[in-house]
Chain A
Amino acid sequence: MRGTTRTVAVAGISAAALLLAGCGGGGNEDNGDTTTGTAAKTGGAITVRGCNPENPLVAGNTSETCGGNVLDIVTAKLVEYNVETAAPENDIAESIETTDNQTFTVKLKKDYKFHDGTVVKAKNFVDAWNYTAYGPNAQQGSYFFEPIEGYADLQSEDPDGAEGPVKAPEPKAKEMTGLKVVDDTTFTIKTAEKVSNLPVRLGYTAFAPQPDAFFADPKTFGDKPIGAGPYKLDAWTKNAEIKLTKFADYSGKTKGNLDTITFKIYQDSNAAYADVQANQLDVTDEVPASAQIDEKYKTDLPDRNLQKPVGVIQTITTAPAKVDPNYGPEIRKAISMAINREAIIKAIFNGTREPATGWVSPVVDGYKADVCGEFCKFDPAKAKEQLAKAGGFKGGKMTLSYNADASHKEWTEATCNSIKQALGVDCVATPVVDFSTFRTQIGEGKMKGMFRTGWQMDYPSIENFLAPLYGTGASSNDSEYSNPDFDAKLKEAAAATDAAESNKLYQEAEAIIAKDMVTIPLWYSTTTMGWSDKVTNVKVTPFGVPDYASISLK
Chain B
Amino acid sequence: MGKYIVRRILQMIPVVLGATFIIFAMVFALPGDPTAGKCGDRPCSPEYVAAFREEHNLNDPLPVQYGKYLGKFVQGDLGTNYYGIPVKEDLAKRYTITGRLALMAIVFEIVIGILAGVLAGVRKGRFIDNLVTVSTLFVISIPVFVIGVLLQYQFGIKWGLVPATVPSLEAPTSSLILPAFVLGSISIAYVARLTRTNLVENLRADYVRTAVAKGLTKRRAVGVHTLRNSLIPVVTYIGADFGGLLGGAIVTERIFNIQGVGGYIWKGINSRDGVAVVSTVTVLVIVYLLVNLLVDLLYGVLDPRISHE
CB-based contact A4/B44 at 8 Å: no
Q: Is the CB of B40 within 8 A of A274?
A: no
- In Å, the complex CA distance between A56 and B160 comes to 37
Contact of A162 among B49, B169, B272 (CB under 8 A): B49
Interface 9-residue window, one of A19-27, A192-200, A386-394, A432-440 = A432-440
Query: Are the C-beta atoms of B85 and A238 separated by less than 8 Å?
Result: yes
Q: Once the chains bind, are B42 and A475 in contact (CB under 8 Å)?
A: yes
Q: What 1/0 mask marks residues of chain A from 504 to 535 whose CB sits below 8 Å from any chain B CB?
A: 00000000000000000000000000000000
A183 interface hit (Cβ, 8 Å): no
Pick from B31, B50, B173, B255: contact of A271, CB below 8 A.
B255
Taking CB atoms, residues of chain B closer than 8 Å to A274 are 152-153, 156-157, 164-165
A385 interface residue (CB < 8 Å to B): no
Q: Which residue of A lies closest to B84 (CB)?
A: A56
Please tell me if B73 contacts chain A, counting CB pairs below 8 Å: no
Within 8 A of A (CB), among B124-177: 149, 152-153, 156-157, 160, 163-165, 167-169, 172-174
Contact B37 A267 (CB under 8 A): no
CA distance A433 to B41 in the complex (A): 16
- Whether A158 contacts B45 by the Cβ 8 Å rule is no
Interface mask (A55-72 → B, CB under 8 Å = 1, otherwise 0): 110000001110010000
Task: Indicate whether A379 reaches chain B with its CB closer than 8 angstroms.
Answer: no
Q: Is A116 engaged at the interface, CB distance under 8 Å to the other chain?
A: no
The interface stretch among B51-59, B105-113, B207-215, B219-227 is B51-59
Binds B, one of A132-140, A346-354, A483-491: A132-140
> What residues of B have a CB within 8 angstroms of the CB of A11 in the complex?
172
Q: Are A271 and B172 in contact (CB under 8 A)?
A: no
Do residues B84 and A455 form an inter-chain contact, with CB atoms below 8 A?
A: no
* Distance in angstroms between the alpha carbons of A454 and B42 in the assembled complex: 9
| B90 to A: closest C-beta gap in Å | 7
Closest chain-B Cβ to A34's Cβ sits at a distance in Å of 30
Interface segment out of the listed B13-21, B196-204, B256-264, B281-289: B256-264
CB pair B37 A54 closer than 8 Å = yes
Q: How far is the CA of A438 from the CA of B174 in the complex (A)?
A: 43
Q: Is the CB of B255 within 8 A of A63?
A: no
Q: Is the CB of A434 within 8 A of B32?
A: yes
CB nearest neighbor in A for B177: A4
Q: Contact: B46 with A158, CB < 8 Å?
A: yes
B271 at the interface (CB under 8 A from A): yes
Instruction: Please judge, given known A-B contacts A56-B84, A278-B163, whether A140 and B44 are in contact too, CB under 8 Å.
Output: yes
When the two chains form their complex, are residues B83 and A138 in contact, meaning their CB atoms are under 8 A apart?
Answer: no
Considering only residues 156-171 of chain A, those with a C-beta below 8 Å from chain B are: 158, 162-163, 168
Interface contact A440-B46, CB-CB below 8 Å: no
**Docked-complex contact A436 and B37, CB < 8 angstroms:** yes
B32 contact from A139, A158, A437, Cβ within 8 A: A437
Residue among B49, B173, B253, B267 with most chain A CB within 10 A: B173
Asked whether, in the complex, the Cβ of B50 is within 8 Å of the Cβ of A64, the reply is no
Shortest C-beta distance, B29 to chain A (Å), equals 13
Whether A39 sits at the interface, judged by CB under 8 Å, is: no
Q: Are A272 and B257 in contact (CB under 8 A)?
A: yes
| B39 contacts across to A, CB distance below 8 A | 54, 63-64, 140
Q: A155-B47, A274-B153 are in contact. Are A267 and B263 (CB under 8 A)?
A: yes
A268 adjacent to chain B (CB < 8 Å): yes
- Name the CB-closest residue of A to B168: A240
| A22-79 with Cβ < 8 A to chain B | 52-56, 63-65, 68
- B259 contact from A4, A265, A438, Cβ within 8 A: A265
Task: Compute how far the CA of A158 lies from the CA of B32 in the bound complex, rounded to whole angstroms.
Answer: 22
Q: Given A168-B50, A239-B90, A278-B156, A456 and B40 touching (CB < 8 A)?
A: yes
CA distance A136 to B32 in the complex (A): 24
A5 touches B174 (CB 8 A): yes
**Contacting pair B43 A443 (CB below 8 A):** yes
Smallest CB–CB gap between A465 and chain B, Å? 13
B234 to A: closest C-beta gap in Å: 26
Query: Once the chains bind, are B257 and A268 in contact (CB under 8 Å)?
Result: yes
Does B50 contact A158, Cβ atoms closer than 8 Å? Answer: yes
Q: In chain A, what residue has the closest Cβ to B38? A: A54
B163 in contact with A280 (CB, 8 Å): yes
Inter-chain CA distance A158–B156, complex, in Å, is 56
Taking a contact as CB atoms closer than 8 A, the residue among B40, B165, B256 that contacts A63 in the complex is: B40
Provide the bound-state CA to CA distance between A8 and B176, in Å.
13
Smallest beta-carbon distance A148→chain B, Å: 16
Instruction: Specify which of B35, B42, B160, B174 is in contact with A278 (CB 8 Å cutoff).
Output: B160
Instruction: Enumerate 23 A-B pairs (CB-CB under 8 Å) in ascending A order.
Output: A8-B174, A11-B172, A55-B84, A65-B40, A138-B47, A138-B48, A155-B47, A168-B50, A222-B84, A238-B89, A239-B85, A239-B93, A240-B168, A267-B267, A268-B254, A274-B152, A275-B164, A275-B257, A436-B35, A436-B36, A436-B37, A439-B33, A439-B37
Chain A residues engaging chain B, CB cutoff 8 angstroms: 4-5, 7-8, 11, 52-56, 63-65, 68, 135-140, 142-143, 155, 158, 162-163, 168, 222, 237-241, 265-268, 270-272, 274-275, 277-278, 280, 405, 433-440, 443, 454-456, 475-476
For the complex of A and B, list the 5 residue pairs with the smallest distance between their C-beta atoms, beginning with the closest: A138-B51, A436-B36, A436-B32, A437-B32, A271-B257
